Amino acid sequence: MCGILAVFGCVDNSQAKRSRIIELSRRLRHRGPDWSGLHCHQNCYLAHQRLAIVDPTSGDQPLYNEDKTVVVTVNGEIYNHKLLREKLKSHQFRTGSDCEVIAHLYEEYGEGFVDMLDGMFSFVLLDTRDKSFIAARDAIGITPLYMGWGLDGSIWFASEMKALSDDCERFMSFLPGHVYSSKSGTLKRWYNPPWFLEHTPSTPYDPLVLREAFEKAVLKRLMTDVPFGVLLSGGLDSSLVAAVASRHMAESEAACQWGSQLHTFCIGLKGSPDLKAAREVADYLGTRHHEFYFTVQEGIDALEEVIYHVETYDVTTIRASTPMFLMSRKIKSLGVKMVLSGEGSDEIFGGYLYFHKAPNKDEFHQETCRKIKSLHLYDCLRANKSTSAWGVEARVPFLDKEFINIAMSIDPEWKMVRPDLGRIEKWILRNAFDDDEKPYLPKHILYRQKEQFSDGVGYSWIDGLKDHANREVTDAMLMHASFVYPENTPTTKEAYYYRTIFEKFFPKNAARSTVPGGPSVACSTAKAVEWDAAWSKNLDPSGRAALGVHEAAYKEVVEAKNDNLINGATQKLQEGIVEKSAAVV
């Protein structure tokens, strides 16, 4: 994963401005520690911090067309670049970089080529012939991109907010699946899949079609010239990624360089559910497994760094980003630069536990659509920035364009949780990989109940965060939160604590507006909170908040009630004994 920064229309194009662009680009160096590049054309600047994954020797950026009239700075991977090169045989390529096709596609097809790209990407392209430029972001927003405006009329683009927030008066998160053209001065959606309209689909469920689509998605993401592995929590999604990658490693190009044994990585508090489950999956698949531990205190100590890198104050995101951030540092220390991860499955298949309460298939489907559309603000943001903080690239096969189209075309009746038919959450995905002849996974792993990452690393992690926030934030501070933070007002001490750290790094109004708000239970959208009246009284993003659904659904609540019953009964018994004793006397 790389870091990009582009600035157009600066009034000042002196050496001092160039130095300033270099300084701001340096704020993204964690994303691309391998090389830095800068192209200046009059009052236009395109900067790049490179993490070399494909063609490490010659793929430095910015990249160009043949006569260098088209310049492009890219963050991402174009998985179909070899197929696209076949369509560009009249063009001369300078490098083996997968991203170089972008400059030539623009030359050949103009601004309308973006839909031809299969991958994850954010890029900015300058046509020096007329000083026009375009910027685009991938379909789902796997790679981050921000857009800003300076007081001098300049327009800015950057992979992370920290590279433009100080110099822009106004900035925002660039919308996924959109392209900006300087010629029209507008953002236009280039990604228009059928599911985007949220109409309920009716395609029958075919397990083999779903399985094959996912296997293709994993295989194309094994495109790498550097060591890689899989983030393995032991849950369904990451286990399937590991199972498919492991099964097809031998036939991949990567195996020629790095061998056919897959590396897997897991992190958790000692004794956590994820560590145990991941070890079992790794043993079954025969991977080279790496197990990392962290303590609650180590996680708390990292919070400021995490919030600086992830650029959010969303509670769920910070809870899950912290262990991922710590794990990424360990992974990088082993010399690994790229990992596959399991994000996106819960949004596509309704895997979050609150989906148990979906009233009908129409609302179920609409909620999955809403969840996918907002992934760039939550799980995509977490997975990308937590890993990129240490120069590691995360690839997400569940968010493959073709796979999403197939999965979102299935009649949602098949995705509904139906205990009467033996269907738990994500049953259609589990069933697609339930192969008795050549099992991908053991049955009990294949049908293991959903754990959110921040829960699976150990329940005491979340409880420890809450305790720490309770010590740092007073009742008076929370009571006056609406005056201090009138926009997206924090409603818990944990949320307040994260907000104070965020505001320290990103104090502008525009920064806080990039973070979503609204009520949520167990990662739901605000709309889905309406599915159960009890949820409005327990607005916590942990999976345990889906009371009566998760098998560990805040057991302390139940235990506390039991303790009260026992204590009450004991007290009555003692009172009875005292009364009897008094009567005897």
Secondary structure letter of residue 423 according to DSSP: B
- Number of Cβ atoms within 10 Å of the Cβ of 194: 11
Residues composing the chain: 585
Asked about 2 being catalytic, the answer comes back as yes
User: Listing from the earlier edge strand, what are the strands of the sheet with 3-8?
Assistant: 35-41, 44-50, 3-8, 155-158, 146-149, 170-173
Q: By three-state DSSP, how is residue 548 classified?
A: coil
Classify strands 3-8 and 35-41 as parallel, antiparallel or unpaired: unpaired
98 has binding-site annotation? yes
**Upstream peptide bond of 62 is cis (omega within 30 degrees of 0):** yes
Place of tokens 């660039």: 174
Which tokens hold the place of 14? 């002196």
- Number of Cβ atoms within 10 Å of the Cβ of 54: 18
Place of tokens 């020096």: 128
Which tokens hold the place of 262? 């897959």
Longest distance between any two alpha carbons in the chain, whole Å: 110
49-53-54 Cα angle (round to 5): 110
Which stretch of DSSP H or E encloses residue 82?
helix 81-86
Give the end-to-end CA distance of the chain in Å, rounded to a whole number. 83
Distance, CA of 173 to CA of 101 (rounded, Å): 25
Place of tokens 């039991």: 562
Indicate if the alpha-carbon torsion angle 344, 348, 353, 354 is positive or negative: positive
Which stretch of DSSP H or E encloses residue 241?
helix 236-248
Q: Is there a contact between 303 and 501 (Cβ–Cβ < 8 Å)?
A: yes
540 has binding-site annotation? no
Catalytic residue among 2, 10, 168, 266: 2
Distance, CA of 281 to CA of 463 (rounded, Å): 27
Q: Is there a contact between 230 and 238 (Cβ–Cβ < 8 Å)?
A: yes
231 has binding-site annotation? yes
Which tokens hold the place of 42? 């009059």
Which tokens hold the place of 190? 């280039």
Place of tokens 């010659």: 58
Place of tokens 């738990």: 424
Q: Between the CA of residue 354 and those of 196, 274, 343, what are the distances in Å? A: 22, 21, 17
Distance, CA of 114 to CA of 178 (rounded, Å): 9
**Binding site, annotated residues for L-glutamine:** 98
Active site residues: 2
